[in-house]
Each structure stands twice: as structure tokens, then as C-alpha cells.
Amino acid sequence: MSCSSPRRVLDEKGFSLISLLLVVMILGIMMALTLESLNGTGLTSSGTGGSSTTLSIPKGAGDVVAQAQISACEADFSSVETAIVTYYSDNGKPPGAGTTWATHNPYGSPIMQSWPSGAPYFTLTWNGTVLSVTPRFGPASSDSIGTKSPRTGCYAA
């Protein structure tokens, strides 16, 4: 009577070590890129003995905030576009104006948990045929996230 035991495939040997090394290498690259991008723009502290610390706004922080607002606007616009397509595919017609069609459904779960709000930087509106981005500053855009030149829609947020 022979006792058979499961045999490990030779290719699996060392797989854990290789994956761990790969993850550590990726994290190291990400940290190096982050430190390089923050070089000279980090928070500074002043004071003696750590008793008094003040933080200054990093150089270029306005650019980072503006890019974050644009990215949030683009992501929200994409989410609403996906919800419109989903509604259309489920019902065979585009949704009505407003936000109720996306956030409330008497027959099941809603398409979106809540309508995206980029206030005070931008607002997204659906009039039943056109999805518009209205930025805090600059002209609105319809059926697109906007343009970089001239700055409209998300790019003017």
C-alpha cells in the first residue's frame, strides 16, 4: 500500500520570495518618485526643542490642489456618464432631467449611492439630454469634461 502525498510543482518553489522582492522593489520606486517630487516643497518646521512648530504651505501646492480638483471632476463626470449609459441600457431611453433617476429606484437598488458633488469647485448637471460641468471659475462645458485651452469645464474648476 503506497501512501501518496501531494507533490509541489517545481515551478512554485521560491514564488513567495520573488513576489515579496517585487513588491518591495515597487514600493521603493514609488517612495523614490514621491521623495523626488516633494524635493524642496516639503513642510518646514521652525522653533526650538520642538516646542513650537509652524507649517508652511509647500511650494507648488496650488498646482497639486488644482490637479486634484480636475481629477475629481473627471472621475465624477465619468461616473455620471456610466450611470446614464446604465440607465439607458436598463430602460431603453435616456433618464429624465435631475438626479433622482440615479439615486432612487423604487424597484431595486439605485444606480448611484449619491450624486457626485464637487462643491465649491464644480457642479455636474443633467438636463435630460446633456451632461454639463459648471466650474467655479470659467465657462461651463456640455457633453465633455472640458478643454485645456481655453480652460472650460473640469479644467476651469
Task: State residue 132's pLDDT score.
Answer: 92
Mean pLDDT, the chain, integer: 78
Cα 38 to chain centroid distance, Å, stands at 21
Reported as a pLDDT band with limits 50, 70 and 90, residue 108 is confident
pLDDT digits (tens, 9 = 90+) for 50-95: 444 454 555 566 678 888 888 898 999 999 999 999 889 888 999 9
Per-residue pLDDT at 45: 41
pLDDT of residue 43: 47
* 8 A C-beta contact, residue 118 and residue 69: yes
pLDDT digit string (tens) for 17-30?
A: 777 788 888 888 88
Burial of 141: CB neighbours in 10 Å, binned 0-12, 13-18, 19+: buried
Asked if 84 and 126 touch (Cβ cutoff 8 Å), the reply is yes
φ and ψ at residue 125, rounded to 5 degrees: -130, 145
